[in-house]
Every structure is written in C-alpha cells, then in structure tokens.
Amino acid sequence: MAGEFGVLALQGDFAAHAAAFRDAGAPAREVRRVAELPGLAGIMIPGGESTTLLNLMRDEPWFDALRAFHARGGVVAGTCAGAILLAREVRPVQPSLGLLDAVIERNAWGRQVDSFEATVESEALGGPLEAVFIRAPRFRALFPEVEVLARHAGEPVLVRQGRVVAATFHPELTRSRALHRYLIRLADGDARAPVSEATSRRGATARQARSSTSSALACRTSSRRSRIQG
Ligand code: GLN
C-alpha cells in the first residue's frame, strides 16, 4: 500500500496533482496547514506563481516545516513554481527552501515561447514523457549531487537530489502519470526501475523486460540510478 501524498494547496494547480497521485495509486490530500504534514510519505509543491506562493506561505512557518519534513525522510517534490521554491538559488533573487542544490531562473524561456508542449526523454521514468511548460523556469546550474532525470533540447527539466524531485514543467496537465508513480516508488524506497504506464499495468515480469529495453532507448538523460539515500 502506497503512503499518502500531500499537495500544498495554497495556490496553483493543486487539485490536478492530487488527482494524478490517486490515478497513480497513492492516496492524496490537499494540505493547507503545517500541522497536516506529519504522517505523509511525500509532499508536492505545485506550479502556480512562486511570488504568490511565498506570500501565502508567510501565514505559517512553512519553510521550517517543509525542511523538517524532508529531514525526517519525506519526499519533497516541486513542479514549475514548486521547483523554484526548492532551489538553493533563484534568479531574480527571492527566498527559497534550498533543498535542491541548483540555480534556477524564473520565466527563462523568453516571451515568444513562454508556454509550449514537448515530449521529453526520460530513461529514469521509462521513456518519453509529455511535458507542458508554462512560463517555465530553467535550471542554470546543478551541483554534482543532482541527478538529471529528463532533458528538453539538451537542458535538464526534471532533476532529483535524494528525496527531492523538481520538474520545470507541469506533468499533472498531461495523461502520463509516470512522474507521480516515480514519486510513489521513491517514497517506498525504490525509484531505480522505470515506471512507465505500461510497466505498472503489466506488472513485475513486464517490468523486468522493459528494464532491458529501456536501456536501448536513445536517451539524453543520465542513466545513473543510485539507491535512495536515507
Ligand atoms: N513563472 C512562474 C513563477 O515564476 C512559474 C509558472 C508556473 O508554475 N507555471 O513562479
């Protein structure tokens, strides 16, 4: 039985993330108070507007609570504005949790292409993944501890550092549940095997077969799949 996921429900597309976790097989609930964090396997910080999120997070000690949640072993994920909140350094400068050793720049794809869809390759998630980018940020630097899980046009768009996962796009706005399945497995202590829709439907035998096929895919992503720390 998968552990329960919370979705920070202060602003942004939290409802779509909660539905995506349920589709992917984990119970999920919206989280509006820091007191609701204990007991969760993971928390998703959704896309939206990071400045608005920061303002709303002033009402309660969210930074302390989320850092403590991570330190106690919880999975902490962020998409788009959520990824901005996770990074160590944000450009232009704004406060952030600093749980991901990365430099991220807001609204960095330029005005003419500030929203677009793309198929990104992700060996770690079992193959191609639909991705929706909406006024998306770009990673400008990743420290060595950060593993790239997917790239778009050669750039990292999905990364992981231990139990912290950040995507610059909106996975919840597509039909693929690969990222949510990956997070569920990360919380279970096993994110090494690919987690495509097909593998989770067909079960363990197919999963093994798929593992060898996926290594033959032309991927521009890191193939490093280290054991989860802690
Ligand atoms: N541009 C937004 C920000 O800077 C993020 C956009 C999004 O989450 N879709 O916070």
pTM of the shown model:
0.84
Radius of gyration of the chain (CA): 16
Q: At residue 167, what is the residue type?
A: A
Q: Where are the domains of the chain?
A: 5-214
Q: Which atom of ligand 1 is nearest to the CA of 79?
A: 8
The residue ranges of DSSP E strands in 51-176, in sequence order, are 75-79, 87-91, 100-105, 115-122, 127-134, 138-142, 147-152, 155-161, 164-167
The pLDDT tens digits of the residues spanning 66-115 come to 999 999 999 999 999 999 999 999 999 999 999 999 999 999 987 656 79
Asked whether 194 lines ligand 1 (CB < 6 A), one says no
pLDDT tens-digit series, residues 170-224: 999 999 999 999 999 999 987 654 444 433 333 333 333 333 222 222 222 332 3
**How far, rounded to the nearest angstrom, does the alpha carbon of residue 200 sit from its chain's CA centroid?**
19
Look at residue 141 in the predicted model and tell me its pLDDT: 98
Closest C-alpha residue for ligand 1 atom 5: 81
Contacts of 39 (CB under 8 A, 6+ apart): 4
Q: Which residues are catalytic?
A: 80, 170, 172
Q: Which of 57, 79, 84 to mutate to test the pocket of ligand 1 (most atoms within 8 A of CB)?
A: 84
Report the atom number in ligand 1 closest to the C-alpha of 82.
8
5-214 folds as Rossmann fold (3.40.50)
Distance 108 CA to ligand 1 centre (A): 10
**What distance in angstroms lies between residue 137's CA and the mean position of ligand 1's atoms?**
7
Could you read off the pLDDT of 117-159 as tens digits, one per residue? Answer: 999 999 999 999 999 999 999 999 999 999 999 999 999 999 9
